Structure 1
Amino acid sequence: MKRVYLSGPMTGLPDLNFAAFHAMTNNLRAGGHTVTNPAEINPEGGTWNDCMRRDIAALMNCDTVATLPGWEHSKGARLEVLIADRLGMTVLNAKDLVSMEIAG
């Protein structure tokens, strides 16, 4: 079981893309993973800086970052992936992680 941080675009998307975050969180948890979902950390939103400070603190408790589609166009998600990469954490596509669980 992995401790997974879910990273993806929020800013500028309808309802901050929470539906995609919640759907993938449910899929990953069904596969037995412990998931840290930024949409659960910041359910009311807030300033970008405040949200990122909470999110990055939570990221430090994980060993894997799973990315949602469009993450590469998100300033926050790119920062999360950069931090994870520099710290030697596993970074992969969230759909690939779900597929590995199904195949495994």
Structure 2
Amino acid sequence: MTIYIAGKITGDPNYKVKFLRRAEGIKNAGHKAINPATLPAGMPWEACMRICFAMIDAADAAVFLPDWKESRGARAEKTYCDVTGKPTFEIGKGDEM
């Protein structure tokens, strides 16, 4: 299964580490991770969102990190998943994978 990772990026100085850890957990569980935190820094938000929606389209499901509700982008991704019927899962603090 290919899983897209969604969560707060803007305003979180540690987002790369947070997303990388989740990607490693997904890989260790035998799945493929799509990590939007690997997009180049400095891109316009709107451009990032278009790319992220395409990444979601390529995934089988999306996992939402504990802070996703604090992020305008992650909330848009959740709505996009809901509208397109993409399965979503929320990860709580301390949860594996």
Normalising by structure 2, what TM-score? 0.87
- CA-to-aligned-CA distance 1:42-63 (integer Å, 9 cap, x gap): 1434111111111111111112
For the residues of structure 1 that align with 2:55 and 2:96, how far apart are their CA atoms? 20
SS at match of 1:22: helix
State the Cα RMSD in Å: 1.6
Aligned residue pairs: how many? 95
Task: Give matches, 1:1-104, under 5 Å.
Answer: 2-15=1-14, 17-40=15-38, 42-94=39-91, 98=97
CA offset digits 1:39-97 (Å, max 9, x no partner) = 12x14341111111111111111121101111011110011111111211111124557
- Structure 1: gaps spanning 5 or more residues: 99-104
Question: What amino acid sits opposite 1:54 in the alignment?
Answer: I
Q: In structure 2, what is the Cα distance between the partners aligned to 1:97 and 1:38?
A: 19
4+ runs deviating over 6 angstroms: none
Higher helix share: 1
| Corresponding residue SS for 1:14 | coil
Provide, for residues 10-48 of structure 1, a one-character-per-residue CA deviation record: whole Å limited to 9, x for no partner: 111115x111000000010111111110012x1434111
Structure 2: stretches of 5+ with no match in the other structure: none
Give the equivalent residue in structure 2 for 1:102.
Answer: none
